[in-house]
Amino acid sequence: MFRKENVVICNKRSPEMGVIISPKNKEKIEAMMEMAQAKCTARTIAYEDVTDSIDVIDKRWRYITMKSREDCRFEVTPYAQKVANSYKYTPMATAFDLMFHGGTWRVTSFYRVDCNRVKRYHASHLSEDTRLALSSMMDDF
């Protein structure tokens, strides 16, 4: 597990459900991003990074049906990178959590994390349907 700083939960009433990613919610999502990135100047993200990450996940998971993706969660750090050990300070990057629920992508939180210790895309939770779909894909391979 890695250390998260400046955590911003996107939906206070129902934290596990998050905010639906759509043009209608763009300003709300950007405001939450700004709260998590307060006073940060390096390795920050914009709304387009969130939508681009969804496109990448969709392309990688194109053979998994939408029904099988239900309730899958991903930790995304668009600017995760290896930094030399001689670098004096711990480099931080903005990351966020995505969830696929009800046929839509939702963002559940934004936070800052050590960019050396994370992957760009990490499936943090896979539903049982997703696990079965992935295993059947590998069997057919």
Task: Please name the residue that has the structure tokens 């681009």.
Answer: 52
Tokens standing for 13? Answer: 């009433």
Distance separating alpha carbons of residues 106 and 18, to the nearest angstrom: 6
**Tens of pLDDT, residues 46-83:** 999 999 999 999 998 888 888 889 989 999 999 888 87
Distance separating alpha carbons of residues 54 and 63, to the nearest angstrom: 15
CA of 100: how far to CAs of 2, 37, 87, 113, 134, in Å? 23, 24, 37, 22, 16
pLDDT at 141: 54
pLDDT at 8: 74
**Tens of pLDDT, residues 74-124:** 999 998 888 777 767 778 889 999 999 989 999 999 998 888 777 888 888
pLDDT at 75: 92
pLDDT at 41: 87
Output the pTM of the full model.
0.86
pLDDT at 140: 63
